[in-house]
Chains A and B, each alone.
Chain A
Amino acid sequence: DQQVKQNSPSLSVQEGRISILNCDYTNSMFDYFLWYKKYPAEGPTFLISISSIKDKNEDGRFTVFLNKSAKHLSLHIVPSQPGDSAVYFCAARRSGNTPLVFGKGTRLSVIA
């Protein structure tokens, strides 16, 4: 039972354009969502997060949108840069002492 789903295994975007990575979840008890970026041979690094009481959070070129009714969140990267090429993981957790639940990841390739 996959509670966090990233249905696109890969995405290619031209440099300078917008990258949109999507994530769906099934557990309505999730109240905190995070995006991590992972380069080969490195551990995931935290990118941006959003609480369920918000519908948008912005940090520089990165914006996360949350649609609770649709149980959907998305990460927007504008403008996309070649250095953004990596695997992006969506993660979610319930309140309390619960572990993060990760999606399977989306590989983003930004083409110069």
Chain B
Amino acid sequence: KAGVTQTPRYLIKTRGQQVTLSCSPISGHRSVSWYQQTPGQGLQFLFEYFSETQRNKGNFPGRFSGRQFSNSRSEMNVSTLELGDSALYLCASRPGQANNEQFFGPGTRLTVL
């Protein structure tokens, strides 16, 4: 089975721009979660989608949004980028919300200049 894939792997944007990141979960997995990793802050939960519905949301401003499609693929969008949004954005999937173990993709490294 193919693992979780994320595109693009690297991205450079400037302040004020917006960005869309994509995640394809493992086949058959219906739950997709997004995390932000910054140096010294660990992994901070952004949101989780299950069957195209947002089921959980972390403490991030409304500039961060996401969606999930019927094939379970997910996108997250960040509008009006700030320098502090520079981070590794990780996507993780699991078969369902009752499953504890999540499988992570390699991440998208976003740099905001």
Contact = CB atoms under 8 A, between A and B. Distances in A.
A3 to B, nearest CB: 11
A44 B42 contact: no
B100 A49 contact: yes
A43 B45 contact: no
Interface string B35-50: 1000011111100101
B56 interface: yes
Interface string A28-62: 00001010100001111110010000000000000
Interface of A is mostly: loop
Contact of A100 (B4, B45, B105): B45
B103 interface: yes
Contact of A34 (B41, B42, B100): B100
A69 interface: no
A44 B90 contact: yes
B8 to A, nearest CB: 14
A102 B43 contact: yes
Interface string A1-41: 00000100100000000000000000000001010100001
B111 interface: no
Nearest to B45: A99
A21 B42 CA distance: 15
Contacts of B68: none
A101 B43 CA distance: 8
B55 interface: yes
Interface in B50-64: 50, 55-56, 58
Given A97-B55, A99-B56, A105-B42, A44 B97 contact: no
Nearest to A6: B42
B42 A97 contact: no
B45 A101 contact: yes
B43 A44 contact: yes
10 contacts: A41-B106, A43-B4, A43-B90, A44-B43, A46-B101, A100-B33, A100-B102, A102-B43, A102-B44, A104-B42
